[in-house]
Chain A
Amino acid sequence: MTHRSPALTAFMTKEVRHILRDRQTLTILLLLPLAMVVLFGFALRNDVNDIRIVFVDPAPDYATTALRDRFLGNGRFEWVATAPAAADVEQFFRRGNADVAVVFEQGFAGRLAAGTPARILVVSDASDPNTGSRMQAYAIAVIASYQAELGAAGRGVRIVPETRMRFNPTLESVNLFVPGLIALVLTLVTALMTAISLSREKERGTLEILLVSPLRPWQIIVGKVLPYLLLAFANVITALLAAWIIFRVPFRGSITLLLLASMLYAMVGLALGVFIAARTSSQRAAMLGALTGTMLPSTLLSGMIFPIASLPGWLQPVTFAIPARWFIIIARGIMLKGVGLAYLWQPIVVLAVMLVFLMLLAIRSFKPRLA
């Protein structure tokens, strides 16, 4: 059993030829992932900028003017209009011309000087609550820092928070998205491609020819899967190069560990693809199952865009079943935090367990077809 099986080698050569012969598909498989990382890397931001702001300042004084300047000097806000009365604000919102309105009360500076609370109303368009709450937070931060300054100037007390954004000091969105994008791309070339390629052979009857050959089921699966693993490896390399050269995403930890983890994740995807193909009857069903079943969950439940900590409590355990969630932890850990196995063994073990589990399921699903 120590010698290499010539049948397996021949079979794998056939699989590699299949992929290489279809130039069109191969080009798509190599370029599409790269294009996606570049496109989304540039385009996706989960930060809010250019917040269009309307001021309502019935009686401008030095304090309201100073505060307005603080807002405009902040860089996030973009002045739209200054209205004399609060009633005017509504039309800006309804037409979608403003995101935030800051309403000062009359005699603002006077109240400040007198030590009585001077009131400000911050109204935001919260029809997107995610953006709405963030815009409010930014507005409040501006007001808070003005207030703190005022306190210091007026001999009040000032606590100066020195904030340090650990692991991603500039809060670059791309640093956070790249690991998620790699996960999505790997799912595409592993789970989807194997699912389709296998179910195609099933539909055409060529799988039966393989099954009656001396090849064992695991050899057929390995032969099917290995070329795609190579492809996935190429995809990871190009995606990482793009991230590094174009976006200057940091690589603080071990690249080797990152590549190994990517391959582990790719193998999970491949096993999933084999399982889907074994369980579905047609290409159409396999594609639909694989696409609709994996695409949105691995975008929304993986922590790629939405932090898992934000999810409702009952939903958080559901994310445990999403392989992308664990891969993203590993990739962010290595790239942004520079941590190694000591901190990442847990998600790696989870992925390994998933792999073994899916492989067993896949091989079991194939067996009845042999009989």
Chain B
Amino acid sequence: MRALRFLLRKEFLQIFRDHTIVAMLFVLPLAQLLILANAATFEVKSSRMYVVDHDHTPMSRGVVDRLSASRRFILTGASQSLALADEAMLGREVDAILVIPDGFERDIMRQHSAPVQLVLNAEDGAAAAVTQAYASRILTDYSAELGAQVSPTLASVGATAEPPPVSGSGVIDVRQRGWFNVDLEYTDFMVPGILVVLVTLVGTLLTAMNIVREKESGTLDQLNVTPVTRSTFIAAKLIPLWSLALLDLALGLILAWVVFHVPMRGNLLIVFFAAAVYLVAALGIGLWISSIAETQQQAMFVTFSIMLIYILMSGIFTPVSGMPEWAQWIAEVSPITHFVRLMREVLLKGAGLADVAGEIGILAVTGVVVLTLAVRQYHKRSA
């Protein structure tokens, strides 16, 4: 234990003496958090709409008015030419083209039904699907409104033999509510995720390069001929960056609270307890890589690949439920998935210890496994 004290002192001294490393540990993640937290949104603000109205009737203008009044659509161009509209879309100037065919009003009056064409730029598929949903909602509302105007007319014309409908025009009043995040603030959701990614990225990379760096410079052999035990050595490598990463996370949470007003509904002690467990697992992976790799370059490669899988498959940015089942399994294996899930549950939903005990358990098991692997992988004597 005494040896550990001296080794820890040495590791801390080495970290703080390298100003680049200190800057990367604190400035880089926090600065990126401030910028990137704003970026992770699918929020479909408004679509630029080009209108080709062949009908020129009050009703066709009504369709255009309703769509643009919703502020989901902004009218950016109109003409009679489909070719012009198409060119605008190819040139990324508009996102949607609304085509109202000739005889729209006439068909509504006569057949109570008329088509409109909505061409959406599906270069971004998810956004297009949402836009489509909005458009159909707006059009349905408008048709219900038209129905009220038109029906009396129809009744007075009395051309059809059928009796007036019993089901009326069928008005459905839909109310929406998003629980846990009433205002749908995506930053509330993204800030914890991005914070964890950034802290993990920096922490794991530094850990991964730590042992291999001593290998390259020859100081590792010097340590290996001393009586320092393997677990003391690994502990000395883990604890400094682990505590700095915890500090990083704490600073990030303060930023999240002050700048982004992320709610802190649950008990922060749970978050930090889980973070302490999580960081052992995450940085332990770095140590493991470091004890396998021969050069810093190799360590960087392997870490990079693992990080990318972490980041892209953990459900932080894209929903896990959209992934195929085998991919969901990969996501389940990554500790980052569990920790981000836990942070969101505790911060946003106010989940208690009992609610997240499972996640903490998984993190703890991962931590133990990874550390055991790292200690076993690290040999003082090469075979």
Contacts and interface: CB of A to CB of B under 8 A. Distances in A.
- On whether A and B touch (CB less than 8 Å), the answer reads yes
Interface of A: 24-25, 28, 32, 36, 39-40, 42-51, 93-94, 96, 99, 112-134, 136-138, 140-141, 143-148, 150-169, 171-173, 175-176, 184, 188, 192, 196, 200, 280-285, 287-289, 291-293, 295-297, 299-301, 303, 305-307, 309-312, 315, 318, 329, 332, 336-337, 339, 343
Given A115-B169, A152-B113, A159-B63, A147 B92 contact: no
A318 B38 CA distance: 12
Interface residues of B, number: 121
Q: Give the top 8 A-B pairs by smallest Cβ distance, nearest first.
A: A126-B178, A115-B168, A45-B322, A43-B327, A156-B147, A171-B125, A150-B170, A137-B133
Given A144-B139, A164-B119, A168-B125, 17 more contacts: A25-B301, A44-B318, A132-B178, A133-B130, A141-B133, A154-B165, A155-B160, A156-B170, A157-B143, A160-B113, A161-B115, A162-B115, A287-B300, A288-B24, A306-B41, A307-B42, A315-B38
Nearest to A36: B308
B338 to A, nearest CB: 13
A141 B137 contact: yes
Interface in B324-346: 324, 327, 330, 344-345
B297 interface: yes
Given A43-B324, A168-B123, A160 B115 contact: yes
A281 B20 contact: yes
A176 B125 contact: yes
Contacts of B172: 112, 117-120, 143, 146-147
Chain B contact surface mostly:
helix
16 contacts: A40-B312, A43-B323, A115-B168, A125-B180, A130-B43, A137-B133, A138-B133, A154-B170, A158-B113, A280-B20, A285-B20, A288-B20, A288-B202, A296-B194, A296-B201, A312-B38
Interface string B125-148: 111111011111101101110110
B40 interface: yes
A168 B121 CA distance: 8
Contacts of B124: 176, 303, 307
B375 to A, nearest CB: 24
Contacts of A140: 133, 137, 174, 176
Given A42-B324, A129-B178, A329-B92, A47 B189 contact: no
A132 B181 contact: yes
A18 to B, nearest CB: 12
Given A48-B319, A291-B205, A299-B311, A162 B117 contact: yes
A287 B137 CA distance: 50
B322 A46 contact: yes
B44 A173 contact: no
B154 interface: yes
Interface stretch (B28-36, B234-242, B280-288, B360-368): B28-36
Given A126-B178, A134-B130, A113 B319 contact: no
Contacts of A184: 308
Given A43-B323, A44-B313, A148-B143, A130 B297 contact: no
A172 B174 contact: no
Which of A51, A99, A171, A173 has the most chain B CB within a 10 Å cutoff?
Answer: A171
Residue from the set B108, B116, B124, B344 with the largest chain A CB neighbour count within 10 Å: B124
Contacts, number: 405
Contact of A157 (B130, B132, B136, B146): B146
B123 A283 contact: no
Given A136-B178, A160-B113, A287-B209, A296 B317 contact: no
Contact of B122 (A137, A141, A167): A167
A130 B177 contact: no
Interface string B96-115: 00000000000010001111
B304 A151 contact: no
Nearest to A149: B170
Given A47-B125, A158-B112, A310-B42, A337 B327 contact: no
B352 to A, nearest CB: 10
Contacts of B205: 287-288, 291-292
B244 interface: no
A128 B316 CA distance: 9
Contact of A113 (B119, B140, B168, B181): B168
B144 A147 contact: yes
A42 B185 contact: no
B276 interface: no
A163 B173 contact: no
B349 interface: yes
B151 A155 contact: yes
Contact of B130 (A39, A121, A137, A282): A137
B80 to A, nearest CB: 19
A153 to B, nearest CB: 7
B178 A169 contact: no
A297 B311 CA distance: 12
A112 B168 CA distance: 7
A168 B122 contact: yes
Nearest to B209: A284
Contacts of A337: 90, 123
B164 A155 contact: yes
Nearest to B330: A43
Contacts of A25: 297-298, 301
B184 interface: yes
B126 A134 contact: yes
B348 interface: yes
A165 B122 CA distance: 5
A62 B164 CA distance: 20
Nearest to B146: A157
A155 B35 CA distance: 53
Contacts of A169: 122
B185 A129 contact: yes
A124 B175 CA distance: 11
B305 A36 contact: yes
A188 B307 CA distance: 13
A242 to B, nearest CB: 16
Contact of A133 (B43, B121, B137): B43
A291 B300 contact: yes
A284 B122 CA distance: 42
A153 B143 CA distance: 13
Contacts of A329: 92
A339 B144 CA distance: 40
Contact of A125 (B134, B139, B143, B179): B179
Contacts of B154: 155
Interface in B172-218: 172-182, 184-186, 188-189, 194, 197-198, 201-202, 205-206, 209, 213
